[in-house]
């Protein structure tokens, strides 16, 4: 049976041809925990991004959100303590809230359910055990307000990703209805490409013959439904979700499942509802403090001063506490 992972085909061949014939005592070098003489070997990530690390756990994956911070596609030299915990716990909060719309890949965010290697302080709170999925090659972006690249596009020709919008909109205005603007998922080092809904059908058809239209329509409908439910809830807690992105995959039965992270400050624009005023950019609950300081200090060596680091994590924590009503431990 094939392994359902974002890179499943390669990993399946690797396991079939290497892991099955590898002595237990060397597993520590290839991302698997094995115990010999009661010693727990170190696990190595099989995939590492700017912020996240992914470990293979046999029939599941373990995703770890580190305290690294990236700006302008560069990993900064600072560590932002508790940032990874905010990302993981916020995803857990939304996954729990939206499982009535569709299932998600979360199995557990409790390290007690994970191999012994993860029962160390640096993994507590920022790790999530997840189902393996065959990821669909579409970034599902939904915009409820006009801002960022969408605002720049609208100023040019009145459209966002080819969708015609009403005349007279101001920066940060709420859109009459949320719009779905998918993009392709680029290889590492390349940039995602915005595509139309019709192009998303053709793109999915290349990877899943006979399923392109079915998958494209489900991704669009799930994306809008998730956004509407969560945006309404967030607004009741004093936060505007201006836009966000979701990623989906197929489980072993071919069902569409929500994957990756969900509605975090790294994947979304969160604005405070108090003081919201269209006509200009809005303050946000994310790493804007860090981006602004880096822009104002070009000789920064990709290192933030301590006060900017503290302001950044304070914003993440404030957003988490406003949305969940709880303080992180």
* 275-288 residue pLDDT tens: 999 999 999 998 88
Question: Residue 185, SS3?
Answer: coil
Residues of the chain by 3-state class (helix, strand, coil), percent to 5: 35, 25, 40
pLDDT at 35 over 50: no
Return residue ranges of the chain for CATH 3.30.470.20: 135-286
pLDDT tens digits along 57-98: 999 999 999 999 999 889 999 999 999 999 999 999 999 999
Q: pLDDT category, 206, cuts 50, 70, 90?
A: very high
pTM attached to this predicted model: 0.85
Q: Are residues 267 and 141 in contact, defined by beta-carbon separation less than 8 angstroms? A: no
Return residue ranges of the chain for CATH 3.30.200: 8-71+104-132
Distance of CA 235 to the CA centre of its chain: 21
Mean of the per-residue pLDDT values of the chain: 88
pLDDT tens digits along 138-151: 999 999 999 989 99
Tokens read off for 127: 């790790």
pLDDT at 154 over 60: yes
Q: pLDDT category, 186, cuts 50, 70, 90?
A: low
Q: Are strands 163-164 and 239-250 parallel, antiparallel or unpaired?
A: unpaired
How many CB atoms are closer than 10 A to CB 68?
A: 18
pLDDT at 118 over 80: yes
pLDDT at 33 over 60: no
pLDDT at 266 over 70: yes
Please give the pLDDT value at position 316.
95
Please give the pLDDT value at position 185.
78
Q: pLDDT category, 222, cuts 50, 70, 90?
A: very high
Q: What is the CATH number of domain 135-286?
A: 3.30.470.20
Please give the pLDDT value at position 289.
85
Q: What is the largest CA-CA distance in the chain?
A: 71
Name which CATH class applies to 8-71+104-132: alpha beta
Percent of the chain with pLDDT over 70: 86
Q: Are residues 100 and 152 in contact, defined by beta-carbon separation less than 8 angstroms? A: no
Q: pLDDT category, 193, cuts 50, 70, 90?
A: confident
Burial of 167 by CB count in 10 Å (0-12 exposed, 13-18 middle, 19+ buried)? Answer: exposed
Burial of 253 by CB count in 10 Å (0-12 exposed, 13-18 middle, 19+ buried)? Answer: exposed
pLDDT at 36 over 60: no
């Amino acid at each position: 049976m094939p392994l359902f992972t974002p890179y499943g085909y390669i990993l399946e061949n690797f396991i079939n041809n290497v892991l099955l014939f590898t002595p237990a005592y060397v597993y520590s070098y290839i991302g698997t925990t094995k115990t010999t003489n009661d010693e727990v070997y170190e696990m190595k990530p099989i995939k590492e991004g700017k912020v996240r690390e992914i470990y293979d756990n046999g029939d599941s994956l373990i995703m770890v959100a580190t305290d690294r911070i990236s700006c302008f596609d560069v990993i900064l030299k600072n560590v932002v303590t508790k940032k990874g915990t905010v990302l993981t716990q916020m995803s857990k909060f939304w996954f729990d809230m939206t499982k009535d719309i569709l299932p998600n890949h979360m199995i557990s965010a409790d390290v007690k359910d994970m191999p012994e290697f993860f029962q160390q302080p640096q993994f507590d709170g920022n790790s999530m055990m997840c189902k393996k999925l065959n990821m669909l090659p579409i970034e599902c972006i939904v915009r409820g307000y006009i801002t960022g690249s969408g605002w720049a596009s609208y100023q040019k020709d009145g459209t966002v990703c080819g969708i015609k919008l009403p005349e007279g909109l101001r920066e940060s205005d709420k859109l009459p209805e949320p719009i779905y603007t998918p993009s392709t998922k680029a290889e590492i080092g390349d940039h995602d490409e915005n595509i139309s809904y019709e192009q998303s059908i053709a793109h999915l058809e290349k990877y899943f013959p006979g399923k392109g239209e079915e998958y494209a329509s489900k991704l669009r409908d799930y994306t809008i439904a998730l956004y509407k439910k969560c945006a309404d809830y967030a607004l009741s807690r004093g936060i505007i979700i201006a836009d966000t992105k979701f990623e989906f995959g197929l489980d072993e039965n071919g069902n569409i499942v929500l994957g990756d992270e969900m509605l975090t400050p790294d994947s979304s624009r969160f604005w405070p509802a108090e003081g919201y005023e269209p006509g200009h950019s809005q303050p946000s609950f994310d790493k804007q403090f860090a981006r602004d300081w880096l822009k104002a200090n070009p000789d920064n060596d990709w290192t933030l001063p301590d006060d900017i680091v503290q302001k950044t994590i304070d914003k993440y924590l404030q957003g988490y506490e406003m949305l969940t009503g709880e303080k992180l431990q």
